[in-house]
Amino acid sequence: MTLRTWQMAWMLILCAPAAALADKPPRYSALMTGGQRLTGEKLSDWHDKQAVPKLEAQPLLDAGNPVRWLRDRSLPQPVMPAAYVEMNTGDRLPGMVVDYRAGKEQPFFPLPPHLLVAPQQQLEPPRKPETTEIRVTLSSVRRIVWQRRSRQTYQPSTAFFRDGRSVSYRAIRFAGGHVNLLIGTENRKVPWSDLAEIHLQQVPFWPAYFDDLAALCSTSETRLMQVEAVSGLVATTSLDRFAQRTMGNAQDSDQWVHGIQPAWSLDVLWLPNKDISCRRFFLPREVPLSRVPFELAGGRGTTVRLNQNAFGGSLRNTPLDFGWGFGLLGPAVMKFELPPGVKSFRSQLGLDRASGKGGCVRGRIFANSVGTPPLWESPFLVGSEAIADTGVLALTGPATGQKHLVLQVDAAHDGRPAGTDPLDIRDHANWFDPMLELDPAIVKAELDKRLGGRFFAWQDASVRLEATAAAPTDATPEILQNCNEQFAMPGSFDQAVAPKGRALLISKHLQLQPQDQWLIIGATRPINRGPEPKIEVRIGNEPVAEFTAPLAQNDRMEVRPLAISLANYQKPGGTNLEVEIRHAPEGDAAPISWHTIEAAPQLPTLCCAFEEQARFIPHGGNASGSVSLVEDDKHFGQRSARLTPAGRFMVSFPSPVAIREKPKWGEFRFLRFAFRKKGGGRISLELDSTPSRMDAARYDGGQGEKSYGNALRIWQDKLPDEWI
């Protein structure tokens, strides 16, 4: 090779990167609700909740023209993770299910049954979290994948084993590390380590969709946001359940972290902005069709991908990007269930950029089934620059017999233009940004129906608005989504409610057991605003108490419970009570978060070891004294326990008592008791623990040698004659 040839080679090598940089598109691509398309390199002001995020100089969340979707084109397309949890409404959390909780682990703060998932996605909460697992409500889950199979078709009520076997089941019950499956009449215990996937019972999509809205939205106009990350995470939240912060230079968008809490998560997911490939925004009445499950009919080899083209690339034709939709390989018919109140549908159809100037398809849209007169039909679409817009197609929904929407992509062999590809070569079609629109009044009515489901504490209660003679036009309660970042990380958004114009009535039937002595109400206000909100309690239609909801600050567990004695309502063998709680409207009073409404034997902050009655069991082989209950000498109540010298007795708690440095409700830190002893001497009190401690938790009082070995002396002087 001559010197001149070498110089030419070097020139080609050096010039190629420069040419590539010149052709590199801007990092971000966006579509506004008004139809304008934006591109840009710089995203700004999305780290500060007081600021308005912008792409270059264009505000993205302006109320008059908010962004519809935003893509980061510098990131690779999300991939299907090897292990994940898929939700009923289409979201997906990459990670491994490692445990199960029934939700009853924390006394007086019940939670729904949930899975603990070790996430694959890197999360960056503001402070070190108490646990790295994410809690996922079991009722939201469609399938659990520990080891992904090659086929991804959802098969309801089916367990797939790692050795390739599969089995259908009639019922399932979760426990830590295993599931119990009812297979025919056999109850089979299956360890998670044997399972590749478990597909749960099918849940109707539209009720689940509205359930999610009730968890996410303060009103029927709250804007939703779906994020998709390179890890394969898909999570839908609302802007009411969105937080932002920065880990360093606020001007560098790669340093931002966004906190979101989907309806299926009990925790905030803190996502690095640099990992988010796409954000999609819509109102509750706007439903991207890619969220709705469908039935697929097509030829052999037909492939449909959600929010990607048929090859796993981004959804785009030659000139344009799109935010969501379906990528098809081959002709396909897709059938979607329509909800009550559906008003319209709109989409675009075109060939993917991968088709180049080839390919030829035609699209049609039907109500219910192919073969009926189409609602819309496209012209022949040839090449990836051609695109057809359906316009707004009016729908009437199930009320008039329109139960399904059917999208068809036809290979269009008959009548296709001359010179197009033969057969279905390069027929790589995409449905771009397909969306259903629902009647806003129907959406609001669905949210109103779900008022009683906004708090797990209300799960067995009847919740309604009080009837009044002159109710205001709209008495919809105010809903607040509040995230207190002083709570333990990763934190959560807690709902709170304030009635407007009409009181909120919460009715609950309680079946009292003989040991139940207290009605416990856990209710706090998360913010300090206006007059203190009032709670009135009736039992058997008789008013028994009135409270103001206390303010929860750094830890809701530090708030004293609202408690009512049930001693006067007890009957031998137990009884039934009707409890009604009235949350009165109070102008601009702060809303209330509800944590628990239940009957209990003890106060959450006080555990009684002995009062009036106890069973004293001799403890230790050398005890020679006696114990008796006496009424002639007492400090409080009706009786006290009198021990004679050398007496050593044990009183057992009904259930183990948790002793903690920072106790929650139902846990304890301090021991309180009163004693007296005539003639001096010593006393000793010991707590037995499981497992046993190396050094006993023993307390000692009096002078002289400690009675039973090492102990903390709590009274140094001579034991008093009077009660202390």
Does some domain include residue 428? yes
CA 695 to chain centre: 43
> Do 262 and 319 sit in the same domain of this protein?
no
Q: Which domain holds residue 355?
A: 287-438
Residue 445 resides in a domain: no
The answer to whether residue 659 scores a pLDDT higher than 90 is no
Domain membership of residue 612 (yes or no) is: no
- Which tokens belong to 205? 């999509």
- Residue 382 domain flag: yes
pLDDT at 14: 40
**Mean local confidence (pLDDT), 280-288:** 99
Residue 621 has a pLDDT of: 61
Residue tagged 């056999």 (tokens):
186
- What is the distance between the alpha carbons of residues 457 and 477, in angstroms, rounded to a whole number? 18
pLDDT at 358: 86
In 3D, which of 610, 596, 612, 570 has the Cα closest to residue 666? 596
Read off the pLDDT of residues 524-536 as tens digits, 9 standing for 90 and up: 999 999 999 999 9
Counting Cα atoms < 13 Å in the Cβ hemisphere of 421 gives: 18
For residue 419, name the pLDDT band (cuts at 50, 70, 90): low
Task: Extract the tokens encoding 29.
Answer: 């691509």
Same domain as 552, residue 510: yes
At 21, the pLDDT band (50, 70, 90 cuts) reads very low
- Range with the lowest mean pLDDT among 88-92, 200-204, 309-313, 467-471? 467-471
Same domain, 313 and 372: yes
| Any domain includes 700 | no
Cα–chain center distance at 397: 30
Whole-angstrom distance, CA of residue 147 vs CA of residue 392: 42
**How do the residues of the chain divide into helix, strand and coil, expressed in percent and rounded to 5?**
10, 40, 50
Mean pLDDT of 78-86: 96
Judge whether 9 lies within some domain. no
Cα separation of 304 and 307, whole Å? Answer: 10
Residue 658's CB: how many other CB atoms inside 10 A? Answer: 13
Asked if residues 302 and 296 have their Cβ atoms less than 8 Å apart, the reply is: yes
Average pLDDT over residues 275-291: 98
Confidence class for position 15, pLDDT limits 50, 70, 90: very low
The whole-angstrom separation of Cα 407 and Cα 326 is 11
As a whole number, mean pLDDT of residues 83-105 equals 97
Of 382 and 287, more confident: 287
Q: Which pLDDT belongs to residue 622?
A: 63
pLDDT score for 480? 96
Burial class (CB in 10 A: 0-12, 13-18, 19+), 407: buried
The domain total for the chain is 3
**pLDDT tier for residue 469 given thresholds of 50, 70 and 90:** low
Q: Which of 218, 250, 281 is the last residue of a domain?
A: 281
Question: What gap in Å lies between CA 404 and CA 335, rounded to an integer?
Answer: 6
* b/e per residue 419-448 (b: at least 16 CB within 10 A): ebbeebebbbbbbbbbbbbbbeebbbebbe
User: How far apart are alpha carbons 481 and 494 in whole angstroms?
Assistant: 6
Instruction: Give the span between the Cα atoms of 409 and 349, in whole angstroms.
Output: 9
pLDDT for 553 equals: 74
Antiparallel, parallel or unpaired: β 294-298 and 332-337? antiparallel
- CATH number for the domain spanning 365: value is 2.60.120.1060
- Specify whether 339 is located in the same domain as 264: no
252, 297: one domain: no
Residue 614: band (very low, low, confident or very high) from pLDDT cuts 50, 70, 90: confident
Tens-place pLDDT, residues 298-328 = 666 678 999 999 999 999 998 999 999 999 9
496 and 563 share one domain: yes
| Range 337-347 average pLDDT | 98
For residue 136 the two structure tokens come to: 């996922």
Q: What single-letter DSSP state applies at residue 29?
A: E
Q: Find which of 221-235, 354-368, 416-430, 665-679 is predicted with most confidence, using mean pLDDT.
A: 221-235
What's the CA dihedral at 236, 237, 238, 241 to 10 degrees? -170
Q: What is the pLDDT of residues 561-583, one digit of tens each?
A: 999 999 999 888 889 999 999 99
Stretch 160-169: mean pLDDT: 96
In angstroms, rounded to a whole number, what is the distance separating the alpha carbons of residues 478 and 529?
A: 13
pTM for the complete prediction? 0.89
State the sign of the Cα–Cα–Cα–Cα dihedral 450, 455, 461, 465: negative
Q: Beta strands of 513-632 (E only): which ranges? A: 518-524, 534-539, 542-548, 562-565, 575-583, 593-600, 617-618, 627-630
Sheet holding 562-565, edge to edge: 562-565, 518-524, 593-600
State the Cα–Cα distance between residues 116 and 101, nearest whole angstrom: 8
pLDDT of residue 424: 63
530, 563: one domain? yes
What's the pLDDT at 421? 66
Q: What is the mean pLDDT of residues 186-209?
A: 98
**Helices 205-216 and 440-449: crossing angle, nearest 10°?**
80
Whether residue 232 has pLDDT greater than 90:
yes
Torsion sign over Cα 185, 191, 192, 196: negative
For residue 490, give the CATH number of its domain.
2.60.120
Instruction: Kindly state the average pLDDT of the residues 101-109.
Output: 91
CA distance 641 to 614: 9
Question: Does residue 64 carry a pLDDT above 80?
Answer: yes
Region 1-23: mean pLDDT is 42
Which helix (H) or strand (E) covers residue 447, if one does?
helix 440-449
424 in the same domain as 340: yes
Tell which wins on pLDDT, 501 or 487.
501
3-class secondary-structure state, position 654: coil
Provide the pLDDT confidence category of residue 137 given band limits of 50, 70 and 90: very high
Distance CA 532, CA 526 (A): 12
Average pLDDT for residues 247-263, to the nearest whole number?
95
pLDDT beyond 90 at 61? yes
- Only one residue has tokens 């040698």, namely 705
Tell me: pLDDT of 50 over 80. yes
Is 243 among the domain residues?
A: yes
Q: Is 462 helix (H, G, I), strand (E, B) or coil?
A: strand
For 176-236, the three-class secondary structure string (H helix, E strand, C coil) is CCEEEEEECCEEEEEEHHHEEEEECCCCCHHHHHHHHHHHHCCCCCCCEEEEEECCCCEEE
My answer on whether 245 and 295 are in the same domain is: no
User: Terminal CA-to-CA distance of the chain, rounded, Å?
Assistant: 105
Statement to judge: residues 132 and 237 lie in one domain: yes
Dump pLDDT digits (tens) for 601-610.
989 988 887 7
Given 565, 583, 600, the domain boundary residue is: 600
- Among the candidates 375, 409, 438, a domain finishes at 438
Cis peptide before 490 (omega within 30 of 0): yes
Which pLDDT score, from 0 to 100, does residue 660 have? 86
Q: What is the mean pLDDT of the chain?
A: 90
Say what the pLDDT of residue 564 is: 97
Is residue 711 predicted with pLDDT exceeding 80? yes
pLDDT band at 154 (very low <50, low <70, confident <90, very high): very high
> What residues have CB less than 8 Å from 632, skipping those under 6 apart?
none
Residues 6+ apart with CB under 8 A from 245: 47, 126, 256, 257, 259
Taking the mean position of all CA atoms in its chain, how far away is CA 650? 45
Q: How confident is the model at residue 470 (pLDDT cuts 50, 70, 90)?
A: low
Are both 162 and 111 inside the same structural domain? Answer: yes
- 678 falls within a domain: no
Residue recorded with tokens 């996937």: 197
Highest mean predicted confidence (pLDDT) among 248-252, 552-556, 615-619? 248-252
Residues 158, 256: one domain? yes
Q: What percent of the chain has pLDDT over 90?
A: 66
